Homo-oligomer: A and B are copies of this chain.
Amino acid sequence: MRILNQNDENFKAEFSKLTHRSDMDMSEVTPLVLSIINEVKHNKNEALISQISRFDKWEPKSASELEISQNEMKNAYENLESSLKDALNLAFKRIKNYHELNAPKTWLSTDELGNTLGAKFTPVDRAGLYIPGGKAAYPSSLLMNAVPAIVANVGEIVVCTPAVGGAVNALLLAAMHLCGIKKAYKIGGASAIGAMAYGTQTIPKVDVITGPGNIYVATAKKLVFGDVNIDMIAGPSEIGIIADESANARHIAIDLLSQAEHDELASSFLITPSQNFAKSVASFVQSELQTLPRSQIASQSIKNKGAIIVAKNLDECVSLMNDLAVEHLELAFDDAQNYVQKIKHAGAIFIGHYTPEAMGDYLAGPNHTLPTGGSAKFYSPLGVENFMKKSSIIGLTQSGFNALADACVALANAEGLHAHARSVTARVNKA
């Protein structure tokens, strides 16, 4: 794993490449994705069936074959070995507890004129969760997307997941049962996003689409944004770790690899004030790779997208990490708690020697759907608020209205909006 030093002559140029790691070029896939979505929009179920034959290696005879039954989910859940069933339940409970703390709440207040002002939060009628299948199936993604929708009290939750060869991963089915999913469909990629955005005879139109996916899914979500809401546009996963010699170098190496094993395009960064620690971690990365089942993916990722940076001190580490604005940020040093305040941009912050990122991926409680590629500078983790929306509340009393009338009329007239002004003066005259 390459080691850069903040003092190196070419450091700025190299570091700049790391901050610009996200340039996901959607323009190449946009025409294909647009044509898939338009097909679904116009030919609905028929388009879905033909697209499944094209992309998913199975041929549904009718649209009813896309439906995943409650029984399939229940059987999968009941057939889980008990330790896994317990683990899923623990994860569900912890994620639910956290998201309940984080749910937006309706509030009302009264101003000094006696007027009522506030905000009312209501769930969306229908949410669509996209859960990738293919190479790997991630039941944890289902939990992380479904639980905030459940906490938001969404009217109806719809799940789409690709079933390559027609089969859905048993653990994913079990997680659907645990989450009480009533509507789930075997459809993936841009087809699924189009179906949930515009509806077909079988799949209902939703208001919000969330969930991870490859570049086709990300592009499709961007294209339907505006007709529905979406959570964010996410790219490959990434970790940034700030650690010093108070950390265990082997642990940090494994944490870097836990990101790298996701995807050849995943990024893993360590920033440390210690040259020795940097070397030690780099050496553990090599040795741990030897015995890792997904070592091919992980070694590609480490080689092409990974970096260890040696910085002057912890404050410099923080400053560089803020520039990177990573998805997962581990602060693995003794005094970590005192540095949280200095972190400006990160999807999730993992504090101390006993908080490896994997805990957040599964069951610490916070959501694992996080902004990638530097977008932690402006996006937030998925939350209950993604499945709700706000209505402002304004209720003026007659006296409160009168006290504000002149100013309102002055502003409306200044903007040349005379009916606006008249809607106020008419009521003053009556008062």
| Chain A interfacial positions (CB closer than 8 Å to B) | 24, 26, 83-84, 86-88, 90-91, 94, 97-98, 101-102, 107, 109, 111, 115-117, 119-120, 122, 124-125, 136-140, 171, 207-208, 218, 222, 225-226, 228-229, 233, 248, 250-251, 254-255, 257-258, 260-262, 288, 292-294, 298, 329, 336-337, 340, 343-367, 370-371, 375-381, 383, 385, 389-398, 400-401, 404, 406-408, 410-412, 414-424, 426-427, 430-431
Residues of B within 8 A of A417 (CB): 136, 258, 261-262, 294, 358
Complex Cα spacing A409 to B340, Å = 27
Label chain A's interface by main secondary structure.
Answer: mixed
Residues of B within 8 A of A136 (CB): 415-417
Q: Known: A258-B417, A378-B124. Is A91-B351 also a contact (CB below 8 A)?
A: no
Contact between A414 and B349 (Cβ–Cβ < 8 Å)?
A: no
Residues of B within 8 A of A418 (CB): 261, 292-294
Contact between B394 and A390 (Cβ–Cβ < 8 Å)?
A: no
Task: Give the distance to chain B from A177, nearest Cβ to Cβ, in Å.
Answer: 15
Task: Give the distance to chain B from A352, nearest Cβ to Cβ, in Å.
Answer: 6
Q: Known: A251-B427, A420-B358, A426-B254. Is A84-B411 also a contact (CB below 8 A)?
A: yes
Q: Known: A120-B340, A366-B117, A410-B87. Is A359-B391 also a contact (CB below 8 A)?
A: no
Contact between A91 and B407 (Cβ–Cβ < 8 Å)?
A: yes
Residues of B within 8 A of A364 (CB): 115, 117, 394, 396, 404
Contact between A352 and B396 (Cβ–Cβ < 8 Å)?
A: yes
Residues of B within 8 A of A225 (CB): 222, 225, 233
